[in-house]
Amino acid sequence: MNDVCSTAFREEMAEWLKRYPKEQQRSGVIEALRIVQEENGGSLTVELMDAVAEYLQLPNIAVYEVATFYTMYNLQPVGKHIINVCTNISCQLRGSSALMAHLKKTLGVEVNETTADGAITLREVECLGACVGAPAVQIGKAYHECVTPEKMTEILAKITVPRGPHGK
């Protein structure tokens, strides 16, 4: 077994894999990637994905396909908080473009960038499955619906460290 995977990872995965028949261990790839990502600062590297493939006895490409398909996996370092803004048609019709512009200006970043302090990464996603509450935003595991720029400012105030009078 590759030294990249921690003992905690191996123990948690051993329990997780008990849910599947021995010949279906590939079903654990989503959970394995989640655990490894959390243990390694919130992002995955090729080395980590290869270690998951080795652990689950899968071809590396099988793990890469999962890691690149789902937006919950990060293939580059991210901030402490990830703000996902839905830009699908329902959210666009209800103001997600203005919301995204507000976030870019407020945070001083573009899409897929992280603030200089490493606190927030801004991303746009195709759909958060919350059309009835459009525009929708996901921060970590929390969903926020009917988000206006003003409401987003309130949300940001709750997740960021207060700054001094000159933004420091």
Residues 54, 95, single domain; the answer is no
The domain of 85 spans 81-159
Please report whether residue 2 resides in a domain. Answer: no
Same domain for 23 and 58, yes or no, is yes
Q: Please give the average per-residue pLDDT across 57-81, as a whole number.
A: 93
One domain, residues 30 and 58: yes
**Which secondary-structure segment (H or E) carries 160?**
none
Confidence of residue 167 (pLDDT cuts 50, 70, 90): very low
At residue 103, what is the residue type? L
- 97 within a domain of the structure (yes/no): yes
Closest C-alpha to 4, from 54, 38, 42? 54
User: What are the residues facing 84 on neighbouring strands?
Assistant: 123, 138
Percent of residues, the chain, with pLDDT higher than 70: 93
Domain count within the chain = 2
Tell me, yes or no, whether 87 and 110 share the same domain.
yes
User: Which neighbouring-strand residues pair with 70?
Assistant: none
- Residue 1 within any structural domain of the chain: no
Residue 75 maps to a domain: no
Please tell me whether residues 116 and 137 are part of one structural domain: yes
What is the band of 2 on the pLDDT scale with cuts at 50, 70, 90?
low
> 96 and 130: one domain?
yes
Query: Tell me, what CATH number does 132's domain have?
Result: 3.40.30.10
Report the chain's terminal Cα–Cα distance, integer Å: 45
90 and 138 in a common domain: yes
Q: Residue 114 pLDDT > 80, yes or no? A: yes
